[in-house]
């Protein structure tokens, strides 16, 4: 999977989940849920971009370093995700349910994209 294809899939996934989440929130007629959706999207988008940069760096290293960098980036991203959610809930009084649902939705979609990216690049030897 090329970088262009990766970012195209990233844009499609982000837009589709965001539009679907916005549609569900509008059906609830509750404007308090919008910030949770936006912040959940932003947190995960930053996390997936960090992941992409780490994979680019790891692809030029040996297989042992590749595994270490991938696992290290996962730990960093999970820590970033947890601390960002905690800050959003405690200090900005974001609705917990909308933030949790949007964060989990974006995280799972990006995780699938990430696994496809690693799988395609490892089979082609990039």
Closest of 15, 28, 8 to residue 98, by C-alpha: 28
Residues 42-61, mean pLDDT to the nearest whole number: 80
Structurally, the chain folds into a number of domains equal to 1
Q: pLDDT value at position 125?
A: 55
* Predicted structure pTM score: 0.76
Domain extent, residue 115, equals 3-124
Q: In angstroms, rounded to a whole number, what is the distance separating the alpha carbons of residues 78 and 88?
A: 15
């Amino acid at each position: 999977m090329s970088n262009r294809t990766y970012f195209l899939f990233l844009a499609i996934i982000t837009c589709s989940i965001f539009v679907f989440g916005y549609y569900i929130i509008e059906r609830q007629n509750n404007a308090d849920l919008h910030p949770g959706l936006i912040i959940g999207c932003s947190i995960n988008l930053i996390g997936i971009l960090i992941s992409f940069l780490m994979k680019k760096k790891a692809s030029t290293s040996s297989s042992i370093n590749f595994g270490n960098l991938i696992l290290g980036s996962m730990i960093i991203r999970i820590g970033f995700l947890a601390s960002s959610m905690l800050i959003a809930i405690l200090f900005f009084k974001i609705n917990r349910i909308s933030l949790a649902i949007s964060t989990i939705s974006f995280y799972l979609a990006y995780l699938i994209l990430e696994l496809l990216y690693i799988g395609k690049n490892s089979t082609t030897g990039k």
